[in-house]
């Protein structure tokens, strides 16, 4: 099965082998080589429309809607610093544990 993106996502892009694409195959999906990268961080979902076909046949399916849910890799809580005092940033304020696990590294922040 092969796919063409006929309506691109509004809030991100589709990548195959780290290259932006509008075409990929089921084997690429099975090998987890197709990736959606969110570019607009103000939303938690997106969608795209696909056309699917079987190579070397006349079998074509139009209008497949693929809904995308985005899982945040960093959680931000409320933080109200008091001027002139030391204010500790804890995991309740800024937690990037999912990002650290995914990248196998400790995130670094600049204040």
pLDDT digits (tens, 9 = 90+) for 44-90: 899 999 999 999 999 999 999 999 998 888 888 999 989 999 988 89
Long-range (24+ apart) CB contacts under 8 A made by 12-21 are: 12/36, 12/37, 12/38, 12/39, 12/40, 12/46, 12/68, 12/70, 13/37, 13/39, 14/48
* pLDDT band per the 50, 70, 90 thresholds, residue 7: very high
| pLDDT at site 5 | 97
| pLDDT at site 111 | 76
Residue-averaged pLDDT of the chain: 92
pLDDT at 109 over 90: no
| pLDDT at site 98 | 87
Range 32-70 burial, b when 16+ CB lie within 10 A, else e: eebebebeeeeeeebebebbeeeeeeeeeeeeeeeebeb
Section 86-98 average pLDDT: 90
């Amino acid at each position: 099965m092969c796919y063409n993106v006929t309506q691109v996502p509004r809030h991100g892009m589709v990548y195959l082998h780290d290259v932006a694409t509008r075409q990929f195959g089921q084997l690429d999906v099975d090998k987890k080589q197709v990736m959606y990268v969110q570019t607009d961080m103000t939303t938690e979902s997106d969608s795209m429309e696909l056309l699917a076909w079987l190579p070397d046949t006349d079998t074509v399916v139009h209008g497949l809607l693929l809904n995308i849910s985005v899982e945040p890799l960093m959680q931000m809580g409320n933080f109200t610093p008091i001027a002139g005092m030391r204010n500790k940033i804890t995991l309740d304020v800024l937690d990037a544990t999912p990002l650290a696990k995914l990248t196998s590294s400790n995130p670094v922040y600049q204040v």
